[in-house]
């Protein structure tokens, strides 16, 4: 059994901590929000973000990041993507060379346009970094519903180690080597899920959503390949798998936010009503800039940006997408 420190006690960090503790690992979880930590300790449950899931005995909320990290074999980072850099910076003095860093945030950093592995490489060039991604709503993982994900690392042995530590009879883990594709798949699908929600909010049907998901997947793959990813990754768990679950489930924050926007709610107000970080709202901006930087066409991403920026309304965006210049589907 391993010692694992979890940085970030949102729904996803808590669900994974619960899964690991249920397997018998010693898990310590910490969060920047002190009030939230006190609630976790008092209730032995994340009432705020993952209600109804009582903690296993091996899951212990702690008061400091140092307490969570020192002596750990694995440090799991579950801070939102836009806060990953600060979370890693705050952990640096306690991390050692033999620790494995597992990141589960899905996004592209605004400004730098970097993926999470690039931030880790910048701050800790020799880190044993692993990304975990796939179709995995915290609400289901926390309740031990069957879920399958992928983990990727530059070092196959490190990926296999994380696979062994995390895998249970309800949480199946595959290994991969395509860090770029795994990270971009998990990040970009949130943008398409916003669009799927907007479509649902406007009352459009299954045809529209299927088209949006399919053409959205084409955009994801196009940008991924331009950045060095394997196109096959986007047909796997972190690509089409995560895209499907995020675009179709009401567990999806991005879809729920999109539905409200499609119904006419101001994007900022919709985000606030969701009550948790809506990663797609941040990633959409970064992805648009990144696509322009490398010369990749992403019309759906562009239109979703214009909608959330208030430049056009959702119906106008649909009209513009539907009346674009004729093309061959595989171009």
**Would the CA dihedral through 65, 67, 69, 75 be positive or negative?**
negative
Distance CA 182, CA 123 (A): 20
- The helix or strand, by DSSP H or E, that contains position 266, with its residue range, turns out to be none
Contact (CB, 8 A) for 59 and 49: no
**DSSP annotation string for 53-75:** EEPPTTEEE-S-HHHHHTT-SEE
- Residues ≥6 apart with Cβ < 8 Å to 289: 113
**Would the CA dihedral through 117, 120, 122, 127 be positive or negative?**
negative
Contact (CB, 8 A) for 238 and 182: yes
Where do the H-state alpha helices sit in the chain? Answer: 11-22, 34-43, 65-69, 84-91, 116-123, 138-141, 156-166, 179-201, 206-226, 242-248, 253-262, 267-274, 279-294, 299-308, 314-322
- Residues ≥6 apart with Cβ < 8 Å to 297: 222, 291
Burial of 111 (0-12, 13-18, 19+ CB in 10 A): exposed
Encoded tokens for 109 = 């950093």
Q: 3-class DSSP state for residue 6? A: strand
- Report the catalytic residues: 189
The torsion defined by the Cα of 145, 8, 256 and 137, in degrees rounded to 10, comes to: -20
Q: 3-class DSSP state for residue 167? A: coil
Contact (CB, 8 A) for 224 and 185: yes
- The helix or strand, by DSSP H or E, that contains position 129, with its residue range, turns out to be strand 128-133
């Amino acid at each position: 059994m391993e010692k694992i420190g979890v940085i970030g006690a949102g729904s996803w960090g808590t669900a994974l901590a619960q899964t690991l503790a249920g397997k018998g690992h010693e898990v310590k979880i910490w969060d920047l929000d002190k009030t939230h930590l006190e609630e976790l300790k008092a209730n032995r449950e994340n009432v705020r973000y993952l209600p109804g899931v009582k903690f296993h005995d091996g899951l212990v909320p702690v008061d400091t990041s140092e307490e969570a990290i020192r002596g750990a074999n694995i440090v799991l980072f579950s801070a939102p993507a836009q806060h990953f850099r600060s979370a890693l910076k705050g952990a640096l003095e306690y991390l050692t060379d033999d620790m494995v860093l597992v990141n589960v945030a899905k996004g592209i950093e605004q400004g730098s346009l970097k993926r999470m592995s690039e931030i880790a490489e910048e701050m800790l060039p020799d880190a044993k970094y692993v990304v975990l991604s796939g179709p995995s709503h915290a609400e289901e993982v926390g309740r031990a519903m069957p879920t399958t994900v992928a983990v990727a690392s530059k070092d196959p042995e490190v990926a296999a180690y994380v696979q062994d530590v995390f895998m249970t009879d309800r949480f199946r883990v595959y290994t991969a080597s395509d860090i770029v594709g795994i990270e971009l798949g998990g990040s970009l699908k949130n943008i398409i899920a916003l669009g799927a929600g907007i479509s649902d909010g406007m009352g459009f049907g299954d045809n529209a959503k299927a088209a949006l998901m399919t053409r959205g997947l084409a955009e994801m793959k196009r940008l991924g390949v331009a950045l060095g990813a394997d196109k096959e990754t986007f047909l796997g768990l972190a690509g089409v798998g995560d895209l499907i679950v995020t675009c179709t489930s009401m567990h999806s924050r991005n879809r729920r936010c999109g539905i409200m926007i499609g119904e006419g709610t101001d994007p900022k107000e919709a985000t606030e009503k969701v009550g948790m970080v809506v990663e797609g709202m941040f990633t959409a901006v970064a992805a648009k800039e990144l696509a322009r930087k490398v010369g990749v066409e992403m019309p759906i991403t562009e239109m979703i940006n214009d909608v959330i920026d208030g430049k056009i309304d959702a119906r106008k965006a649909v009209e513009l997408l539907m009346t674009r210049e004729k093309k061959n589907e595989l171009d």
